[in-house]
Amino acid sequence: MDRIISAFVRIRQMAHPVMQGLAPIKFEFEFAWTRTSLSIMELVEVTKKTRDEWLAQAVRLERKSFSKSDSLGQRLVEEAMKPHNTLVLAVGTQDATVHGYILFRRNGAEGHIDRIAVAQHQRRQGVGRLLLQTAITVLQKKRAMMLLLEADTANLAALSLYDSQGFIRTIVRVDYYKPGRHAQLMELEL
């Protein structure tokens, strides 16, 4: 079985423009660890080509995981570049394939999970839990006091994951995603 490393990725758009009016992207891979033992820290050296491929894989996973109307598609990378946003990728150590990602942000004392997706063949194997725990750890280090998220009330697997991590269900936003699709608001005190 492929071990998973969680590559903590901060993506920032640098201030100065380059050719054709595009700003370069700066990637910071700060830490990674194996899924089987979260206490083992591993350094991950990643080339620009690998980073670009991982981001492309994350975009493909986004498109597979969400309906066309809900998917961010390529905007996933743009969202990850925003100043307070962080993208974490779960990458297989044997095949260097992105098995999942989480996009989250911190605004003041609150953290917010914006996106989480896990490849179909990796679901129910702890990848989502690892990503969520990574986001919680990062936000605690950044001194966030509360973590918020919205989950589709029909997504029982996601609701179960959040419940197991101590999230409290607060209110349901009726027709949040579209008519007939409601969002369960959840919060976790950090």
pLDDT tens-place string over residues 38-57: 333 333 445 566 677 888 88
- Domain locations along the chain: 4-144, 149-190
> Is CATH 1.10.150.20 the right assignment for the domain spanning 4-144?
no
pTM score of the predicted model: 0.77
Averaged confidence pLDDT in the chain: 76
Return all residues near 152 (Cβ < 8 A) that are at least 6 apart: 158, 177, 181, 182, 183, 184
Q: Are 90 and 100 in contact (CB under 8 A)?
A: yes
Cβ atoms of 172 and 148 within 8 Å: the answer is: no
- Going 57 to 150 to 4 to 143, the CA torsion angle's sign is positive
